[in-house]
Amino acid sequence: MHREPTRKGDLVTLTDSTLTEADARTMFERMRWPNGPVCTFDDCGGSEVYRISVAGKTLKSGRVVGPRELFKCKACRRQFTVTKGTAFEDSKIPLRTWLTVMYRMCSSKKSVSARQIEREFGLSHRAAWFMCHRIRWMMTDKNPERLSGTIEADETYVGGKHRGPKQPATTASRKAAYHTKTPVFGMVERGGEVRAMVMPKVSQNNVEHTIWNNVDRARTRLMTDEHPVYFHMAKMLPHGVIRHESEYVRGEVHTNTMESFWAILKRGLIGTYHHVDAGYLNMYVNEYEFRHNSRKVSDRERFLLLASQASDGRLEWYVGQKPSEEPSQAS
């Protein structure tokens, strides 16, 4: 595993077992406010802030809250912590654990499962699962830029029921598996970023709508395979088609970049998670998209990018999941 130089209380590696909660809070404070603390309340945003040290106490529920440091805004007179307005707000999981797991998910090419986090950090499976999904939500690009240049588009299918070790593939078994799989559609700018998302159905309308919302039409040349949903694309923008029945590359016409992304995604889903519920699949796709789009930077820079996205706001529960629902045991 890639390791960064250790320096307590600064932008340090998170593989150091002696990292304390105070170190983690100092680290996150410097990442969130490089020019000094500012008020986190939307209706204020004051820059004149001073620190308050609060002694530890025992709550009525019996939970012990250790000593902590608060901030108070001179303008609005309200108090807040360094995690106020972030995905970590009010979490009972120590911040050092959050940051360590974030670093692990950033630096592992195939990610880590909730089961592994559960074992390594002594968390319940529910807490580890929820934690990983919050981090995946942080990885989601909230304001993606449009792709341009040579764009490859392709679809794949994830999941489905296994035939069994002694059952050979037949036409009937392939058709049955097709209907139990979840379609995922993706586009990649050669040398640039990828956009991938779960699609209810791979239809002409869905594909065209997704492409129009994610590419710059005036500066795009599209590459696809011979799937019928792409037949009308040539009327709207330059379109190259590769027919996989007879060839995989014809000059610049191919979809190999997109297919390489699918290979990494599927190896990760099968090798790390073994099974992913279709209702949560988009979150896992977002995770692999984030790592692909930040592949040209170091693990440390990728971690800092993710930490900067933690301030997008508090997450009551991960997107698409109700608090009453239990996590899948396989994720």
CA 261, 264, 268, 269 dihedral sign is positive
Q: Of the candidates 281, 277, 252, 267, which has an alpha carbon nearest to the alpha carbon of residue 185?
A: 281
Q: Of the candidates 122, 125, 97, 98, which has an alpha carbon nearest to the alpha carbon of residue 113?
A: 125
Please tell me the predicted confidence (pLDDT) of residue 2.
Answer: 36
CATH topology of domain 147-295: Nucleotidyltransferase; domain 5 (3.30.420)
Phi–psi pair at 137, nearest 5 degrees: -65, -40
pTM recorded for the entire structure = 0.82
Domain-wise residue ranges, the chain: 37-81, 147-295
Write out pLDDT tens, residues 30-49.
999 989 999 999 899 888 99
Please tell me the predicted confidence (pLDDT) of residue 166.
Answer: 54
Q: Cα angle at 299 between 91 and 159, to 5 degrees?
A: 75
As a whole number of angstroms, the distance between CA 171 and CA 302 comes to 44
Write out pLDDT tens, residues 91-109.
889 999 999 999 999 998 8
Q: Are 7 and 283 in contact (CB under 8 A)?
A: no
In this predicted structure, the answer to whether residue 160 has a pLDDT above a threshold of 90 is no
Q: What stretch of H or E contains 152?
A: strand 147-159
